[in-house]
Structure 1
Amino acid sequence: MMRHLTALFALLLLTYQPQLNAQTFTFTAIPDQDETLLQTRFGSIADYLSEQLGTDVRYLPVKSYAAAVTAFRNNQVQLAWFGGLSGVQARKRVPGSEAIAQGYEDQFFQTFFIAHQSTGLARSEQLSEQIRGKTFTFGSKGSTSGRLMPEYYLRNRFDQSPDQLFRRVGFSGDHSRTIALVQSGAYDLGAVNFKVWERELAAGRIDTDKVEVIWSTPSYPDYQWSIRGDVDQRWGAGFKQKVKRALLAIDDRKLLDAFPRSRFIEASNADFEPVERVARDIGLID
């Protein structure tokens, strides 16, 4: 009887062991545009990574930039598609974390300043003095392209804070909504990620008789994939490099066009030092 019980216990242990070892590799992304677009994009990335990594991979949607940073800090996610500022904030909270990949275009990112046609503003080489006293919306408070860099250039140009410069300042929450708010006339002006503008324009969702680009910032580094430094301890030696290789190897045009990016290239924490300096200068990080 004892021999049979021992054999049964061993069989149950063998059956259960994979469940004990099974771990889901989870990632998130900053909610920078329409949620439906994000679900489509990152659901496909989860499927791709599952196949490449040989482990279960899940996309965890979040409601805000701050929530993405918190999920990364709390190890609810191990990988994240961050903007420049949110990436800096997240990596500071998780020692050993690294930026490992970025879109080719993310080296040369820009913010577009857009205006409702009622302002009478047209595209120019520098921000016009005529923006004073108007209403203005940023994107998310934690957005690099929707808040950090546009605020930096506004302060640099006018030597005033946005609250001093504009009659009313808002935060739309994401780039798609910024465009919609300015196009509707709810705000005179807004700051928007140039990639989202180009996507919405190509999709026919922008009426250029109502809203247009009046200025674009110089380029700066922005989006990137960042990974926690402890993933090798959970998934085995070399797992971080395996994730990096998988991201850099993406060549499916549908996946790339969903971002949209032409390809992914290597990134490092040092690439985002300019973003960190600007964030310190305007008091967004200590």
Structure 2
Amino acid sequence: MKAMWGLAGILAGTMSFGAMAQDGCPNRGDLDAAYCDADKDLVADTPSDPKKLKSPSNLAFTFTPLEDSAAYEKLFKPFTDYLAQCTGKKVGYLSLSSNTAEIEAMRAGSLHVGGFSAGPTNFAVNIAGAVPFAVIGNQKEYQSYTLIMIVRKDSAIQKMPDIKGKKVAHTSSTSNSGHLAPMALFPKIGVVPDKDYKILFSGKHDHSILGVQSGEYDAAAVASDVFDRMVERGQIKADAFRIIYRSDKFPTQAFAYAHDLEPGFRDQMLKCFYDYRFSDELKKAFAGSDRFFPINYKKDFFMVRYVSQSAGESFNRVAYDKQVAKEKEKK
């Protein structure tokens, strides 16, 4: 049977995390007060108190909520069925509407494992105790993507300086390719976001892409992998657009588990992830990638953190609260 989970359950599970602070923690870095990073690997340590460890009977899984949630629930169905069989747990797909909702779900204990977009991964680590362990990839390497600036093929915009004064879409303020990377990289080529053009937040990469197609936006900064998947699914035609900028590569996303999963169950679950080979539909959706490739957050997400810091962004509690407040103002 399909397990059902909702936002009400997420909110009901929210606790007072200040009260959970681990006394005597030698190092936290940017982690929230609920967590400790004694080994300085930048992620939350497993709680030393056995009473704080979880081995849920219903395992909640999700994928980054920046695209069509229903499509990805269907796409990952063979995997969630396999994960249920492999772990002996019921597995439900948790449909979420935003990066913030996904972070809050893990922080509240309503999400146990899932895929986070590259930029929000940093907030998930620091605010929700997420521990990244994999990126979609193949036998040799994990999948990567680039920041691209797209315009319609019939647009008069030919190069980056031409977007000055135009209607340009970013996705959300926590998105790596959809905001943080443009803020850090564009000034180096003579275009300063929110000065040379007004930032218009679309909310999602697919909204930005479709907005350019419809003429709502003159240009949009988006993730290349999202663009490619929309082409693959037939939602857009690649030759209807022109790419006027492409950055260096970033990891596409991070699959992360909640830091307080019981170690025996956690290790069993991780083996299930690493042993799984994608269905043909999943391979098609992810450009031929066929597995969850192991990663180290401290090493493999260095460039994502660097871009964010270069853009003047941080991923601590103060920055997160500001982000949440901004999102509420827009509703």
- Partner Cα separation in structure 2 for residue 149 and residue 22 of structure 1: 37
Paired AA for residue 284 in structure 1: E
1:121 aligns to 2:121 (yes or no): no
Q: Cα 1:26–1:250, aligned 2, differ >3 Å: closer, same or farther?
A: same
Counterpart for residue 231 of structure 2: 201
Question: Residue 133 of structure 1: SS of its match in structure 2?
Answer: coil
Contact kept, 8 Å, 1:98 with 1:268, in 2: the verdict is no
Q: Is residue 51 from structure 1 mapped to residue 85 from structure 2 by the alignment?
A: yes
1:207 Cα deviation from its structure 2 partner: 4.1
State the shift of 1:238 in Å.
2.2
Distance 1:202 1:257 in 2: 8
| Aligned-pair CA distance for 1:37 | 1.6
Alignment partners' CA distance in 2, 1:98 and 1:22? 17
Equivalent AA in structure 2 for residue 243 of structure 1: M
The reply to whether residue 74 of structure 1 matches residue 108 of structure 2 is yes
Supply the RMSD in Å over aligned alpha carbons: 2.3
Q: Against the structure 1 CA distance between its residues 206 and 152, is the aligned structure 2 distance closer, same or farther, given a 3 Å change threshold?
A: same
> Which whole-Å CA distance do the structure 2 matches of 1:194 and 1:248 have between them?
25
List gaps (5 residues or longer) in structure 1. 1-20
Q: Cα–Cα, structure 1 residues 209 and 279, in superposed 2: closer, same or farther, change >3 Å? A: closer
Does 2:119 correspond to 1:85? yes
Between the aligned partners of 1:47 and 1:54, the Cα distance in structure 2 is 10
Aligned match of 1:18: none
Partner of residue 150, structure 1: 182
- 2:267 pairs, out of 241, 245, 256, with 241
Q: What's the TM-score once normalised by structure 2's chain length?
A: 0.70
TM-score of the superposed pair, with normalisation by structure 1: 0.80
User: How far does residue 136 in structure 1 lie from its aligned partner after superposition?
Assistant: 0.4
Larger helix proportion, structure 1 or 2? 1
Superposed CA offset, 1:82-112 (max 9, x none): 01221111111244x4211111275532122
| Greater Cα radius of gyration, structure 1 or 2 | 1
Q: By how many angstroms is 1:219 displaced?
A: 0.7
Per-residue displacement from partner, 1:192-250 (whole Å, max 9, x unpaired)?
A: 22122112223333245642222211112230101112111xxxx42222222222222
Instruction: Determine if contact 2:176/2:308 at 8 Å carries over to the other structure.
Output: no
Instruction: Give the secondary-structure state (helix, strand or coil) at the position aligned to 2:133.
Output: strand
Matched with 2:215 is 185
Range with bigger deviation, 99-108 or 135-144: 99-108
Q: Is the 8 A contact 2:61 2:112 kept in 1?
A: yes
Say how many residue pairs are matched: 255
Q: Write the distance in 1 (CA, Å) between the matches of 2:175 and 2:79.
A: 22
